[in-house]
Structure 1
Amino acid sequence: MTAQQPSAPARHESGPSGCSGAGLHHVTERHPDRFTVVGNHLAQHHELSLTAIGLAVHIQSLPAGSRIGVKALAQRFPEGEMRIAAALRELETHGYLARTKERLPSGRIVTRTISYNIPQAYARSQAYVRPQAPAQPVPPPDREPAPAPPPAPAPPPAPAAPSDPTATTLLTGLRTHDPRLLLAERDVHRLAPAVTTWLERGVPPTVVRHALTTDLPQDPLRRPAALLAHRLTELMPPPLHEGPEPRKATARPLPLQNCDGCERAFRGERPGRCRDCRPGRAAA
């Protein structure tokens, strides 16, 4: 029931037996309880349909927390779901109703409905709402959300380049010189490229092994791989520079001498006779 508040001055009220003349007559009694006050702006709205006006009065009379979805209202009234849905849209358009989608902490999506008995109250509430980021699109209630596409498979890691067998053998055998130099397999493959660089620079494996195993500290080696990495880096020899071979020193020719016998010139370390004038050759 609604409390009548006519905009025109009220006339003398007459009972049903005392009605005279055509037109509407009211029999108004005071409601002591269970009543709802509805404004004439709703009851006499010129743009709302009768279904929308009646639905608005019904909604304003319900307690908070009542279910007023389309299906719930269609079970209560003879109007079908299409007419009820259209009436709800009318009330939203004219500011008597506001419906929003909200996601509960459990992930469930529910509809929150706010009923305004005065449309200006709805307008004021919208004026003071801070702008928010656009909500994520909500799938229709009768459809299941599309499953997220599976993540793209990670590209297979590139196979590591095989280590130099000579370098790995050298590093693995260090434990025979000192048990403290026992290395894990991953440390062997990590240090092998540095050993290969030593070998490529002309250092024999025995010299590399000597550089890694001599003058080790007496204290227990907690991190032998770190010690070997430090030595391979800090003691690495420079690369051999290939250049032209040095010129061999050529023997200087013997000085020229004058033969004392025939006075011919010959080369010799000291003055004297030439080969033909020597005593042994002359006797021959």
Structure 2
Amino acid sequence: MADPALKVYPNFASEAFAPIREALIQATNESAQQVTECLIAAWDAEHNIRVAEEAEQQQREQEEEELHLAKEEAEQEHREGEKKKPKMNNFDQATSVSSVIVPCPSQYALQRLNNFNHVDLWYLSPASCAKASKYNRSNADVTFGISKVDDILMLRSVTVVKASRNSVEDHDLSFEAFLQVKNNLLFYAKKASWPGKHLDALAEFFWNVETHPMCSNPNGNTTVLTYALRVHHSWHNDLKANKVFNIAIISDELMKNIDWEINAKASKECAHKASVHKHVPIHHTNFPFPSPPYCPIPPLALHPFSFFLCIMVLSLTRPTPALNPS
């Protein structure tokens, strides 16, 4: 809309306004100059009224806009304030507490699950959850550590970025503990919004490990737990590289290789213990004569009759006292 203040009066002395001037001259008996001046004065009066009305309109619109902006700003501040206020969620009056309360792990474990990272099963064990609960009640929230997110260093609560010094690798867990904590892992992975496809594969993986025939073999539990640890780690690493295998499919060849490795290690440890035991000397402090030569077989392990013969032979080795010539 054009600003009326910028308008100028028309040329009332021109030929276009001649009929109007003639009519006014005849009606007022004034001169042409006086009629022209009257037309200009009338136009100025009407123009000033329009300019004043336009100014008032603009003032009203500006005030309304400022009021609207102030109202929106107040509403925005109110919404932001409501967001910052702690809120208590609603509850279902017809639902009772669950028959099982799953213990809550540390913030470190939960953060790794939220980021779809691997977490040792120990962090989901009752012992670890109890430690985390006790630690969270202390002043740990005022302690911060540095973490790297998308190449940006950030200060975060130490409970989120620091691993526990007491953590135990999966293959060092007892088989009973493994059966318990893997369910806790699936529970909190679901709460962390893991895809259903991944949760189903992980659940099937744990079931196949738990029921694998290898468990009935000597050192079988150690074998399947070691298999679970290595495959679980590898699966998460491949997820980041986008070259993922189906973790639910058990590799019998890998299971046999790990079983051979575990049994070979156990045999080596047994041989080492036997070798150490074999070369430990036996000190007979209660004999009234010099200690006998070392016997590689512990005396108590001998047959009673053989032990008696051994004592008889040893007694013959005792020096004979010199006879008194008198």
**TM-score under structure 1 normalisation?**
0.19
Greater RCO structure (CA 8 Å; 6+ sep): 2
Structure with the bigger percentage of helix: 2
**TM-score under structure 2 normalisation?**
0.17
Structure label with greater radius of gyration: 1
